Chain A
Amino acid sequence: MNSKFAGYIGKRLLLAIVTIMLVIAITFFAMHAIPASPFSSEKAKSDAVIKALEAKYGFDKPVIVQFFNYLKNIMKLDFGLSTAWVGSTVFGLIKNGFAYSAKIGLSAALLAIVTGVVLGSWAALRRGKWVDKIIQVGTTALVAMPSFVMATILLLVIGLKLKWLPTLASQPGGLVLPVISLSLYPMAYITRLTRSSMLDVLGQDYIRTARAKGLSNGKVIFKHALKNALSPVITYAGPMMAYILTGSMVVENIFSVPGLGRLFVNSMLRTDYMMIMGVTIFLAIMIIMMNFISDILYKVIDPRIDFS
């Protein structure tokens, strides 16, 4: 069992590393294919810059050598220099932006998980009642709304019309609206997941046994049902991370948060290729690692699943 589990972890880790390598390769060669890519000397203006870049990336060397150079630099967390934000390193910009994005993203994830699990269990326990119906309709509507629609409507209604919350991230409390708009979609999704797996679990024999033993309702729900109902939610952690990170691109733009998503969009608008590459690779690594962690957690929590 234990060696099997270790084998499983090894396999997933290998898959994660292969995927990260593939993302780096796709990013590098795609950028290389652009006529005015950061790896061609056409882009740089002055001789000194060309010399410095050549020394670092070796434009004259074959593409494959340049690729391994780039890879080696990434390992040292050196993603190169930004061309749009002159004088800043790509990694420094990413670090600054990520401080904001991590704060918003983690808050949104936490909010989504807590409210989603509570609402989903509530709906399952009141199956067929009006609470269940309202939650069902609400979540069906929410999963049909793209993040940018959600964020803009919240901005319009709560920020501009009702003036309950500030619309700019720099104002006090300004991060509340971005967090809410990022969390609504995953929250609705988790609610639906929890509801259906909770219904599934509540029909199992061991719940009947627990009730027959005379356990209180609360104990049955929290100790027996909820624990088992949560494993599908864990598998959603990876996709949720991907949603929140990509969603932050629009949400941070709408609410002017100086985070990673906004940085990414701005570097696309200003065609800063080094930035685009750096942020893509950084975000991809975050998403892939999150998928890896949620895969492992899933197996730890639910030992019934075989490791083949």
Chain B
Amino acid sequence: MSEETKVKKKAFSFHTNPNMFEKASEEEKAQQVHMRESVSFMRDAMRRLRKNKIAMISLCIIILISLIVFIVPNFYPYNYSEQDLSRQYLDPFEYSETEKARMADGEKIFPHIMGTDALGRDYAIRVIYGARISMLVGLIAAIIVTIIGICYGSLSGYFGGKVDLIMMRIVDVIYSLPDVLIIILLSVVIREWVSTSTSMLVSRLGSGMISIFIVFGLLYWVGMARQVRGQILSLKEQEYVLAARAMGAKSSHVILKHMIPNCISVIIITAAMQIPSAIFTESFLSFLGLGVNMPMPSLGSLAADARMGLQSYPNLLIFPAAMIFLIVLSFNLLGNGLRDAFDPKLRS
């Protein structure tokens, strides 16, 4: 009996006759598999980021500035607090009379790339130190915000219910506090404490810096906490979370191993957006005279000092202003690039 008769064909049936087909060869099978190497989300996002020219240029500028501000002060021939009244207000690459005399004697003198300020301090190294403060503030703010925001947001989102309600009301209140005012107030208060304290760390950092970090720790994490919580709330409904819990995973395991890795895009975007605003706040406070302590320069205090003799020596304003502009612009553009690369909703 042939196979054909075995399969009873009904009229109008769509049954196909298996005998009409032949097995695919291995070669043909291989043609059907068009596999791309599996790409993790992270690598996919990085690939998109690398394609974004503006973001990559910004990243390069940020890396370059970081290298300069952390390496150059180690071997730079001038010190940020070294005063020399014989070389006040030099233009860029200008030498003072005494320096010219020493050069005539055959001594080699490193040029003042950005000139000198009212007290004859080399301006380039002061701008570099100022930029270093800005970069440090941005970095530390991002770290503080990320740590507190993730912890708070993930707990609130994961436990939900009453816990979430109470935690989010606290966030609402903190969110509506006017942050700059609180920073100013605290730095006034901390300045008074510090003036009586003899601790090395406190006097080196300055009251403004300490209050900035305290306030970042107290106030700035709420944006991150909200974002992480929103993300966790939606992740909670995912099957893999249910599966992990059904297999007896502890809450900490579910949060750390399953949920937070899936929030990584939100975390990266929010942290990147936080950096420029932290740098803004620090320079603003320093401009008001509440930032770093005296001899230590900050881009804000340099700009404030430059207001004396602004008309005759505009360089003193332009260098720190350009520096802060470059730093904030680069971080803004990098943040935009990260958002485009990591936000799955925008993926076309």
Contact = CB atoms under 8 A, between A and B. Distances in A.
A215 interface: no
B180 A242 contact: yes
B178 A242 contact: yes
A268 B184 contact: yes
A249 interface: yes
Interface string B273-290: 000100010011001111
Contacts of A280: 181, 184-185
A283 B314 contact: no
Contacts of B244: none
A152 B307 contact: yes
Interface of B: 172-173, 176-178, 180-182, 184-186, 188-189, 192-193, 196, 276, 280, 283-284, 287-290, 300, 303-304, 306-307, 310-311, 314, 317, 321, 324-325, 328-329, 332-333
A164 to B, nearest CB: 15
A34 B191 CA distance: 9
B132 to A, nearest CB: 18
B284 A148 contact: yes
| Size bin of chain A's contact surface | 35 or more
A15 B303 contact: no
A192 B274 CA distance: 19
Contacts of B329: 140-141, 144
A33 interface: yes
Interface in A137-159: 140-141, 143-149, 152-153, 155-156
A269 B289 CA distance: 9
Interface in A267-291: 268-269, 271, 276, 280, 283-284, 287-288, 291
A152 B317 contact: yes
Given A22-B173, A149-B325, A156-B311, A249 B288 contact: yes
B289 to A, nearest CB: 7
A155 B188 CA distance: 28
A288 B178 contact: yes
Given A144-B325, A242-B178, A246-B284, A268 B189 contact: no
B284 A144 contact: no
Contacts of A146: 280, 283-284, 287, 300, 324, 328
Nearest to A273: B188
A15 B192 contact: no
23 contacts: A18-B173, A26-B182, A30-B185, A30-B186, A141-B325, A141-B329, A144-B325, A144-B329, A145-B328, A146-B280, A146-B300, A146-B324, A148-B284, A148-B287, A149-B303, A149-B325, A156-B310, A160-B310, A242-B178, A268-B289, A271-B188, A276-B185, A280-B184
B287 A144 contact: no
A19 interface: yes
Contacts of A271: 188
Q: Which of A31, A148, A249, A264 has the most CB of B within 10 A?
A: A148
A152 B288 contact: no
